[in-house]
Structure 1
Amino acid sequence: MDDKVRPTKVLIRRHTLVTRLTHWVNVMAISLLLMSGLQIFNAHPALYWGEKSTFADPWVSMSMREVDGVARGITIVGDYQFDTTGVLGWSGAEGMREQRGFPSWATIPSYRSLADGRMWHFFFAWLFVINGLVYWLWGLIGGHIRRDMLPTRAQLAPRHILHEIITHAQLKFPRGEKARAYNVIQKLTYLAVIVVLLPMMLATGLSMSPGFNATLPWLTDLFGGRQSARTLHFISAGLIVVFIVVHVLLVLVSGVWNNMRSMITGKYAIQVEGDRP
C-alpha cells in the first residue's frame, strides 16, 4: 500500500488589484524614465563629483577617440578605460556611426533632442511619483507593507539570512506553505529599493532642478554639489537596472507562468500536502 502523501496544487491570493496595477504602471514609468534619462545624459555624456564640471578629469565619460587613426568609442570609469565601440561613445550602423554616449535604440526619443528627452522624463517622473504614493498609501492602509514587506525578528537572524542567501545562490526557491509569503531576501531587497534607492533617485533628480534649487537650496548641498547629485542620480538609476535584471532572471528561473499569473490575476499556485490515497 502506498502511504505517500500526494501534493495538491492550490491557488492562493498573493497580490491585490492595487498592487498589480501600480506594479505595471511602475514597469512602464521606470522603463521610459530610464530611456529618456539616457537621452538627457547624452547631451553631456560625462559625470563628475563636486559642484562644478571638471571637463579635463571626468569620473565617467563616453566619447569618440581616434586610436591609430581609427575612430573608437572609449568609456572611462575612474582610472579605467574601455573600448566600447558600437555601444557606448561611438555607435550606429557601420558607415553611419556617430559620437553619442548611449546608442539610439536605448534612448527616448531615438533622435538627438535634449528638450524632448526632458519632456518625456519629467512627465513619467511625476507619473512614477503619483503611482508610488498610491502604492504606499494603499500598502499602509491595507496592511500590505506591515504584513508582507517587513521582515520578522526570526527572519533577521544572521543564520537565517545566510541560509537564504545560500539557497538563492543554488536557485532553490520556497515550496509549499513557505511560498505563501516573501522570504527575507525578497523583503530586504524590496525595502532597499523602495526606501533607499527610489527616494535617492527622486531627491537627486529634484536637486538638479533650478526651481527646487531656489526653494530648497540645501538639497543640492546635501549631496555634495550639483555634479555629485547628477552622478548619484545616475548611480541610483544604474542600481535600479541591476535590481530589475536580477528580478526578471529570478522570475524566469522560479516559474514564469506562476509569477506572471500572480501579478496579472493575483493568484499564485503552491503545492500543499494532500490526503493519503
Structure 2
Amino acid sequence: MQPPATRTEATRIEATRRLWHYRHPLVIRLAHWINAVALLVLLMSGLQIFNAHPALYWGDRSTFDAPALSITAEAGADGASRGIVQVGPLRLDATGVLGLSKTAGVETERAFPSWATLPANQDLATGRRWHYLFAWAFVLNGLVYLLYGIGTGQLRRRLIPDGDQIRDIGGSVREHMRLRFPEGEEAKRYNVLQKLTYLVVVLLLLPVMVLAGLAMSPGMDAAWPWLTTLFGGRQSARSVHFIAANLLVLFVIVHVLLVLVSGFWNNMRGMVTGWFSLGTVRP
C-alpha cells in the first residue's frame, strides 16, 4: 500500500487547479461538425460517381485508350481477375482493395469497394443526388463560417500567424516532430503550422475543389463557359476535383492523428463544449 499523503502534499494537491479557456465559439463548433458530416458524405458519394467511369484525363475529352489514372480489373496470365491501378505508365496490383473487391462474399469489379461508397451498391443516380445535396450544404456552411469569422475577427485569429509565430516557425516544426505541443497561455491560440495549414485549406484547396466541381456541371458550363476553360476542359476539372478531394482526405487524416497525439479528450471537449484545458496551475 502507498503511504497516506502528508499535510504538505495534501496542501499542494488542493492548491492546484485546472485552467480553462473558451477556445471555440458555438458557430465555429457547429460549422466544424457540419463540415465533418458533409465531407464524409461528399467523399463516399464522390467515390460512387467515380466508380461509374473509373478513369481520369486531362483536357476536354475522355481518351479511353490513354487515361492519366484508371482503376479497373483485368484477367491475368493465369486467367484470374486482378485489380489494377494505372497512373500513366505505372501499373500496380491492388486486388482486394481497388479495382476488384468482395461484395457480399463475391468478387466484384469496381474501382472503390462497397464499404467506401454511398450508396454501397452501384447506383450512379442516387450517388449524384447525395453529392449535390451535401455539396450545397457544404458551400452554405462555409459561407456562414467565413462571414462569422470575418465579422468577429475569428478568421484572422485562426488563420493568420502572429509575427512571433512566423519568426519561430523552425522551432514549431521541431516541436511537432518531437510530438510536443503548446501548453499554458500559448495553447490559447493555434500554432503557426495549424494556422498556415488551415489558411491553405480554407482559402485555396476548398475553393479549387468547389470551382472544379462546378466546372463539370453542364448547367454551369452553359452559364459560365469561362469556368471550364479555366481548368483546361471538363475532364481536367474532374481530375483537379479528384486530386483536391484526395489532398483534403490527407489533411483530415493528419488532423485526426494530431488530435489523438496532442490530447484526444481535451481536443474533443473543446470542439463539443468550447472549453479547452490549458493544464493545471497554481492560484
TM-score by length of 1: 0.94
**1:182 counterpart (180, 187, 190):** 190
| 2:86 corresponding residue in structure 1 | 76
2:103–2:113 contact (8 Å) kept in structure 1: no
1:7–1:271 contact (8 Å) kept in structure 2: no
**2:166 counterpart (145, 156, 167):** 156
**1:102 counterpart (112, 117, 121):** 112
Range that drifts further, 185-194 or 89-98:
89-98
Deviation at 1:8, TM superposition (A): 4.0
Range that drifts further, 90-99 or 103-112:
90-99
| 1:66 corresponding residue in structure 2 | 75
**1:15 counterpart (15, 24, 28):** 24
2:19–2:281 contact (8 Å) kept in structure 1: no
Structure 1 unaligned residues grouped into runs of 5+: none
Range that drifts further, 162-171 or 245-254:
162-171
SS at match of 1:92: strand
| 1:28 corresponding residue in structure 2 | 37
| 2:66 corresponding residue in structure 1 | 57
1:65-106 per-residue CA deviation (whole Å, 9 max, x = no partner) reads: 111211100001122111111111111158611111100100
TM-score by length of 2: 0.92
Deviation at 1:57, TM superposition (A): 1.0
**1:167 counterpart (164, 175, 192):** 175
| 1:220 corresponding residue in structure 2 | 228
**2:272 is aligned with 1:268:** no
Runs of 4+ deviating beyond 3 Å: 4-8
Q: 1:84 to 1:90 in 2, by over 3 A?
A: same
**2:204 counterpart (183, 187, 196):** 196
1:177–1:272 contact (8 Å) kept in structure 2: no
Deviation at 1:273, TM superposition (A): 4.1
In structure 2, distance between residues paired with 1:234 and 1:105: 19
Point out the structure with max Rg over C-alpha.
Answer: 2
2:100–2:108 contact (8 Å) kept in structure 1: yes
SS at match of 2:262: helix
SS at match of 1:75: strand
The AA in structure 2 aligned to 1:54 is T
Deviation at 1:153, TM superposition (A): 2.5
2:181–2:262 contact (8 Å) kept in structure 1: yes
- Alignment size in residue pairs: 272
1:39–1:117 contact (8 Å) kept in structure 2: yes
Q: 1:94 to 1:133 in 2, by over 3 A?
A: closer
RMSD: 1.8
| 2:53 corresponding residue in structure 1 | 44
SS at match of 1:61: strand
1:205-243 per-residue CA deviation (whole Å, 9 max, x = no partner) reads: 000000100111011111111111100000000000000
In structure 2, distance between residues paired with 1:170 and 1:144: 29
1:29-54 per-residue CA deviation (whole Å, 9 max, x = no partner) reads: 00000000000000000001111111
Structure 2 unaligned residues grouped into runs of 5+: 1-7
In structure 1, distance between residues paired with 2:173 and 2:264: 21
Identity level (%) = 53
In structure 1, distance between residues paired with 2:24 and 2:258: 18
Range that drifts further, 167-176 or 232-241:
167-176
